[in-house]
A and B are shown apart, each in its own frame.
Chain A
Amino acid sequence: MSIVLDVRNLKVYYELGNGVVKAVDNVSFQLYKGEVLGIAGESGSGKSTLGQAIAGLIRPPGRIVGGQILFKGKNLLELSESEWRKIRGKEISVIFQDPNSYLNPVYTVGFQVAEAVEAHNGGSPKHYIHKAIELLKMVRIADAPRRAVNYPFQLSGGMKQRVLTSIAIANKPELIIADEPTSALDVTVQAEVVELLLELKKELGSSMIFITHDLPLLLEIADRIMVMYAGKIVELGSSHHIRNNPLHPYTRGLLESVRYERKAKLKSIPGSIPSLISPPPGCRFAPRCPFAYEKCRKIEPPLKQVDGRLVACHLFNEGGNDG
């Protein structure tokens, strides 16, 4: 399998008045062609920052302070804004959570889709209105020609998310970054939009990074899942592994807290996410971890290959099955 995206030692910090927030701290991973990589994490895990960094959307006070993002071998961090514009929306595109803030209320959706095509092909949006209708059909919007002349407020939430999706796929991107694309939608609507995303991804032969707090959803749709905690990767493995045999205590806790049992006390992870300005020394999860010992509070565990996936935890030995 060929590598589409290779992130190496990426660090993204936010420089705020009261300190430096290490939102993404030394993160490395690869994305293979055609796969869906799920990034799971709670608020403050750095998952969205990571997505923005890959799409070149980090704005001050955020800053990429180190590492490389190799997209088809080329380091995205060395690109100028004008070079970025040629890539963003064409080779890499992004779908966000809130369709309302990404669709302009004063233009018809057809025009906005046409504009996305025009941005990378030149000419005027008017030339691409047929292409836009075709794209709206691709995202299964019924009666696309009529819908194309609607304004965003005339569409439902699910429909708007489809329009955003059609903008994202307008130029057949190789990489689609979906940041909580369905979190604002109802489950029955979400199910349909997610299915559509996966089908389109397959049709176009793209790869996808699917960022969400919804681990159960990722278990259904992702090929591999990367679990983040406080700016770090804690576990990265196939959905199968994560679902049936999660290793990292945080992954286990996360999974247990959504694996509801009938009339039993719910399982929770005690405490809350640490401050990313002064994270705890050693393993960042140690203060909440039921298995933490001496070493965990002093030495930061590296990501190591254990039982067919990567885990950052002292409880496990390299290559071994258990620690």
Chain B
Amino acid sequence: MELANTRYNNVLSQIKQEKTKRRRELLETLRKNKWALASLYIIIALCAMSLVSFIYTPYNPFQFNLAIARQPPSLSHPLGTDELGRDILSRIMYGGRYTLGISFISVTLGALIGVALGILAGYNGGKVDTVIMRIVDIMLAFPTILLAIALVAAVGQGVKSLILAISITTFPVYARLVRGTVLQIVNEDYITAAKLIGLSSYKIMVKHVLPNTMSVVIVQMSYYMGLSILLASALGFLGLGVPPPKPEWGTMIGGGRIYFFSAPHIVVIPGIFIFITSLAFNLLGDGLREALDPKLRGLLRRG
């Protein structure tokens, strides 16, 4: 026994070392993916910008001055001014908290609910599956705009109802997607093996099923990160979103739309921010998917 102990006593430290190495490899994979890395920096910069707005903006984002309305970018107003003469840079900085916050929270919320329901339905099958999927079908058939109107009526206009509207319209998509993946996973032998060693259903779902749905979930989340910004903007445009004068990026576009030809920058600049954010999340999502999948990670390492 003594002998055996000396033989194996550094096994654990070796395993731990290797695990740290693997974790570093994960970051390495992400770092090697130039697009993902650039996207990560952009997202960090955008978040930092929104946070800075709590203590500093070049101008007061709500202060209007019709004398300097619709001015193109200049030294004093680097991104120009809007239809009421407010500084667009300050408004973009201030509005980031709404736009980024809304999309982040609503996507996370939608994903959490959707993934949980999808796994429950796919893993358990039978009646649970039927009930969950019928609810999902009904939700999918419900028009987003109508739902948003109903929510606004119930909760009142504002950030909360916007987040709810987006999460409620997106979670059924995750649920359906995840359920499909889970239906494949439950037939794999490692799930059977997990049952055989006596793991509880809960543990099997969390430890064996959930991690293997991550690739599809991450792709869907990064796609919805962009889409939810557009959805928030569309609702804002219809007057169902963040009410003016709060400078949510979509609301900004809505406000400037009638000056599209005379002062395009009012619309184009928030548009560019929405575009960049949505693109960055998509590219980062792709990178994450690669880094989190041991198999893809291996391919990249060899390549």
Contacts and interface: CB of A to CB of B under 8 A. Distances in A.
A and B directly contacting (CB within 8 A): yes
B195 to A, nearest CB: 29
A320 interface: no
A91 B89 CA distance: 74
A156 interface: no
Interface string A15-36: 0011000000000000000000
B303 interface: yes
Interface string B82-110: 00000000000000000000000000000
Contacts of B299: 18
Main secondary structure of the interface of B (DSSP, over half): helix
B295 interface: no
Contacts of B127: none
B302 interface: yes
Nearest to B302: A18
A17 B299 CA distance: 10
Interface SS, A side: loop
A248 B250 CA distance: 74
A298 B165 CA distance: 70
A17 B296 CA distance: 13
A16 to B, nearest CB: 9
Interface string B272-303: 00000000000000000000000000010011
Interface residues of B, number: 3
Nearest to B303: A18
Contacts of A18: 299, 302-303
Interface residues of A, number: 2
A14 to B, nearest CB: 15
Contacts of A17: 303
B295 to A, nearest CB: 14
B260 to A, nearest CB: 45
Nearest to A277: B302
A175 to B, nearest CB: 38
Nearest to A16: B303
Interface string A55-87: 000000000000000000000000000000000
A17 B300 CA distance: 10
A17 B302 CA distance: 10
B52 to A, nearest CB: 42
Nearest to B299: A18
A18 B303 CA distance: 5
Nearest to B301: A18
Contacts of B302: 18
Nearest to A17: B303
B273 to A, nearest CB: 35
Contacts of B303: 17-18
A207 to B, nearest CB: 41
A17 B303 CA distance: 7
B62 to A, nearest CB: 54
B294 to A, nearest CB: 17
A74 to B, nearest CB: 41
A15 to B, nearest CB: 14
B299 to A, nearest CB: 8
A92 B46 CA distance: 64
A20 to B, nearest CB: 14
B152 to A, nearest CB: 49
B303 to A, nearest CB: 5
A17 B301 CA distance: 12
Interface string A162-183: 0000000000000000000000
A244 to B, nearest CB: 40
A153 to B, nearest CB: 21
A18 B302 CA distance: 7
A207 B303 CA distance: 43
B32 to A, nearest CB: 15
A293 B302 CA distance: 31
A18 B301 CA distance: 10
A37 B61 CA distance: 83
A18 B298 CA distance: 12
Interface in B118-171: none
Interface string B220-263: 00000000000000000000000000000000000000000000
A256 to B, nearest CB: 30
4 contacts: A17-B303, A18-B299, A18-B302, A18-B303
4 nearest CB pairs, A to B: A18-B303, A18-B302, A17-B303, A18-B299
